[in-house]
Amino acid sequence: MLAVLLACVGATVSLALLAAHQDATIDHLRTALRNASRPAPAAAALPAVSGSAMFSLPGAAGGSFSVVAVAVRPEPGSAALTWLFVYGRHANPGQRYGLLSDTCGGQYVAAYDLAEGTADRNGDLTIVAPNLDIDPRAPGVWISVYRLADGAPLGGVQGPLTGSGARTFKSAAPC
C-alpha cells in the first residue's frame, strides 16, 4: 500500500513539475513576442502630382462644363501620366457626352475618344479619363467635350494642359 501511495505522490509531483515547465515556457514565449522588434513597413513611393490646372469651358448650349487636368508621376523619375476630369452642370439629363483628344499638326488622322459619361437626372455630369499617355506640357495637345448624340462640340482646351499658356475654345482647337 505504501508503494502505491508513493507512486501516486511521485506521479503528482511529476505532473506538477511538467505543468510548471509548460507555464514557464509559455511565459518566456510571450515575453519574447512582446520584446521582438516589428519590422517597419516598407516605404512605398507615393504618386506625386507634378502639375494641375482647371478650365471653365466657354458657354455652350446644353450646360456649363469645367475640365481639371492633373499630371501624376506614379514613381519618382517616371514620366507623368495625365488624368482628366470633366464636370458638367445643367446638362440634359440622360444625355451622353464624350471627351476627345488630338495634337495640333500631329500624326493622327482623327481625334480619338478618351472617355464618356452620362448626365444624371439633375443634369450633373462627371467624366474621368485616368492614366493617359498625353504630355500635359505639350502646347499642341488639345481635348474637347462633345455630345455623343450629334457630335456637337461643347468646348475644349488647347495645351499645355498643366502650367500656363492653355487656351480654351468653343468648337474647334485654334491650331
Q: Which of 131, 138, 129 is nearest to 161 (CA)?
A: 138
CB 160 within 8 A of CB 143: no
pLDDT in tens, 9-28: 444 434 443 444 456 655 65
| pLDDT over 90 at 4, yes or no | no
Q: Which of 8-12, 88-92, 135-139 has the lowest mean pLDDT?
A: 8-12
Residue-level pLDDT at 148: 92
| pLDDT over 90 at 94, yes or no | yes
37-to-26, 43, 44, 73, 124 alpha-carbon distances in Å: 19, 17, 20, 34, 52
Main-chain phi, psi angles of 121, to 5 degrees: -65, -15
Residue 173: Cβ within 10 Å count: 22
Half-sphere exposure in the Cβ direction for 162 (13 Å, CA): 17
What is the percentage of the chain residues whose pLDDT exceeds 70?
Answer: 69
pTM for this structure?
0.68
Q: Which residues contact 88 (CB under 8 A, 6 or more apart)?
A: 63, 64, 65, 66, 97, 119, 123, 124, 125, 126, 127, 145
Q: pLDDT class for 129, splitting at 50, 70, 90?
A: very high
Residue-level pLDDT at 9: 41
pLDDT in tens, 31-89: 655 665 565 555 666 788 888 899 998 866 667 899 999 999 888 888 889 999 999 99
